[in-house]
Amino acid sequence: MKVPFCTCVDHQCRCNPINHPHGCTPCIAKCLAEKEIPVCFYRKIDPNMDRKQDYTFKGFARFVTDHEEKSQK
C-alpha cells in the first residue's frame, strides 16, 4: 500500500508503507515502542533534512526549536 502523504525515503525499511498493506500502523507502532518520532514529522518541517537525526522525543523537540530559530533569522 502506498500512502500518498508518506515522505519516508527509506524504502528498505520493513515498516515503510510501500512494503506492506498496513499503511502507517507498523511505522508508528515501531517508533512508539522505541520512544521515537516518525521521520514524516521531521520531513514536514524540513523536506530536505539530514537523515542522521536524533529521532527521540527530545531530539524532535530540539529539531523543532532549532528550525524555528533558523526561520526567525
DSSP letters, 20-36, are: SSSTTHHHHHHHHHTTB
Cell matching residue 62: 530540539
Look up the domain containing 65 and give its range.
Answer: 17-72
36 lies in some domain: yes
The pTM of the full predicted model, rounded to 2 decimals, is: 0.82
3 lies in some domain: no
- Express each pLDDT in 8-67 by its tens digit: 889 999 999 999 999 999 999 999 999 999 999 999 999 988 888 899 999 999 999 999
68 lies in some domain: yes
46 lies in some domain: yes
8 lies in some domain: no
Would you place residue 2 in the very low, low, confident or very high pLDDT band (cuts 50, 70, 90)?
A: low
The dihedral built from the CA positions of residue 36, 37, 40 and 42, taken in this order, carries a sign that is negative
60 lies in some domain: yes
Would you place residue 70 in the very low, low, confident or very high pLDDT band (cuts 50, 70, 90)?
A: confident
Structural domains in the chain (count): 1
Instruction: Specify the pLDDT at position 51.
Output: 80
